[in-house]
């Protein structure tokens, strides 16, 4: 009716809405005091490294404006690197450099920036331009992940990553986020990236959406999503599930990238994962959460992953 879905039909399908997510899941299972651990990527990195979870390696940090002069030294002659604000949200303020040409640095879309631009970007990060609430922030310089070329066909100029929603330690849903021309190389769905729902049992694509509408091929590369299959799938879910144990966040989004040599790496964690993953998977998350609620909370990572694969996998 009038282009609106009926609320009762959505409820029947178990689609989670924003208000319910905030009240019933985030405020109930994500303890406020644990937020800094997830919101501050530097803290996340320290703690994940400590327990041996694979993450992209760190080149250095810049904490004070006077250190900006020395960025050159920190970067050295590295060809590719990523500069990001430790407390940025929604992918804001991330500068990816893939190569160098003389004094100029090259971004994934081929744009060139100077060293001066990089310094200004770091200065903005430190001033808190990208952080939640404008707090002073720290810039992190990470080595560039050498992306596994399996996704090249499904990504335009950007970084494909895998988002796994981990509910109380159980992987509940997963999707691959593919950047498009429209999303400007970013993997954020609201900017026009394609979300591909992933079968938890096999790592194969289920369904793909762009702007909340189903698509079957990538809008720029024209490859069919149904052929997509994520390698290292058996390593990936335990990696995601183990983040619950270190953060104690019951409703957690885990962003994973695949490195050519290192395999799956945790890129960042998110304490407020969005709802689009349901559209990408064509299924509501509430029934899965309800099923997880009935399980024992004392299971190991392997047992939890096994439960998810058995109950939420398609095949």
Q: Considering only CA atoms, which of 204, 207, 229 is closest in space to residue 281?
A: 207
Query: How far is 100 from 111, CA to CA, in rounded Å?
Result: 11
CA dihedral (44, 33, 286, 190) positive or negative = negative
Q: Which is nearer to other proteins, 76 or 110 (CB)?
A: 110
Instruction: Give ∠ CA 305-268-291 in degrees, rounded to 5.
Output: 30
Q: Which is nearer to other proteins, 123 or 143 (CB)?
A: 123
Query: How far is 128 from 223, CA to CA, in rounded Å?
Result: 39
Terminal Cα-to-Cα distance of the chain (whole angstroms):
35
Q: Could you tell me the smallest distance in angstroms from the CB atom of residue 8 to other proteins?
A: 10
Q: Considering only CA atoms, which of 188, 244, 182 is closest in space to residue 37?
A: 244
Q: Could you tell me the smallest distance in angstroms from the CB atom of residue 23 to other proteins?
A: 5
CA dihedral (130, 178, 249, 281) positive or negative = positive
Q: Which is nearer to other proteins, 19 or 296 (CB)?
A: 19
CB 115, CB 109: distance < 8 Å: no
Q: Considering only CA atoms, which of 230, 207, 228, 199 is closest in space to residue 310?
A: 199
Within 66-177, where are the H helices? Answer: 71-75, 115-127
Q: Which is nearer to other proteins, 247 or 278 (CB)?
A: 278
Q: Could you tell me the smallest distance in angstroms from the CB atom of residue 232 to other proteins?
A: 30
Q: Could you tell me the smallest distance in angstroms from the CB atom of residue 48 to other proteins?
A: 27
What SS3 class is residue 277?
Answer: helix
Q: Which is nearer to other proteins, 43 or 92 (CB)?
A: 92
Q: Could you tell me the smallest distance in angstroms from the CB atom of residue 15 to other proteins?
A: 5
Q: Could you tell me the smallest distance in angstroms from the CB atom of residue 114 to other proteins?
A: 12
What SS3 class is residue 102?
Answer: coil
Q: Which is nearer to other proteins, 90 or 217 (CB)?
A: 90
Q: Which is nearer to other proteins, 206 or 265 (CB)?
A: 206
Query: How far is 75 from 140, CA to CA, in rounded Å?
Result: 11
Query: How far is 244 from 230, CA to CA, in rounded Å?
Result: 22
Query: How far is 239 from 266, CA to CA, in rounded Å?
Result: 8
Q: Could you tell me the smallest distance in angstroms from the CB atom of residue 292 to other proteins?
A: 19
Binding site for other proteins (CB under 8 A): 3-7, 9-11, 13, 15, 17-20, 23-24, 65, 92, 116, 120, 123-124, 127-129, 134, 184, 191, 209, 212-214, 275, 278-279, 282, 284
Q: Which is nearer to other proteins, 234 or 290 (CB)?
A: 290
Q: Could you tell me the smallest distance in angstroms from the CB atom of residue 94 to other proteins?
A: 10
Burial class (CB in 10 A: 0-12, 13-18, 19+), 159: buried
Q: Could you tell me the two tokens for 102?
A: 């003389």
Q: Which is nearer to other proteins, 212 or 293 (CB)?
A: 212
Q: Could you tell me the smallest distance in angstroms from the CB atom of residue 279 to other proteins?
A: 6
């Amino acid at each position: 009716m009038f282009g609106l879905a009926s609320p009762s039909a959505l409820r029947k399908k178990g689609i989670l809405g924003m208000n319910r997510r905030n009240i019933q899941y985030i405020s109930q299972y994500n303890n406020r005091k644990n937020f800094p651990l997830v919101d501050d990527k530097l803290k996340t990195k320290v703690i994940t490294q400590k327990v041996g979870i694979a993450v992209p390696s760190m080149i250095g940090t810049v904490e004070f404006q006077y250190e900006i002069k020395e960025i050159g030294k920190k970067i050295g002659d590295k060809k590719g690197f990523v500069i990001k604000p430790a407390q940025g949200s929604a992918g804001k303020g991330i500068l990816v450099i893939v190569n160098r040409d003389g004094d100029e640095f090259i971004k994934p879309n081929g744009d060139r920036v100077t060293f001066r631009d990089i310094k200004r970007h770091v200065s903005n990060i430190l001033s808190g331009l990208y952080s939640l609430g404008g707090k002073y922030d720290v810039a992190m310089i990470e080595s560039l992940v050498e992306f596994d070329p399996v996704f090249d066909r499904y990504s335009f100029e950007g970084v494909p990553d895998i988002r796994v929603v981990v509910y109380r330690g159980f992987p509940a849903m997963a999707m691959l986020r593919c950047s498009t021309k429209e999303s400007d190389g970013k993997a954020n769905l609201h900017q026009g990236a394609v979300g591909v729902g992933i079968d938890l049992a096999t790592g194969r694509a289920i369904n793909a959406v762009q702007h909340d509408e189903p698509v079957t091929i990538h809008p720029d590369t024209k490859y069919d999503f149904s052929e997509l299959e994520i390698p290292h799938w058996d390593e990936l879910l335990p990696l995601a599930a183990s983040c619950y144990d270190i953060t104690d966040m019951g409703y957690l989004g885990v962003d994973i990238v695949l490195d050519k040599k290192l395999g799956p790496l945790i890129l960042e964690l998110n304490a407020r994962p969005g709802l689009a993953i349901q559209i990408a998977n064509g299924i509501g998350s509430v029934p899965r959460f309800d099923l997880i609620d009935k399980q024992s909370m004392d299971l190991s990572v392997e047992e939890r992953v096994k439960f998810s694969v058995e109950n939420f996998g398609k095949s």
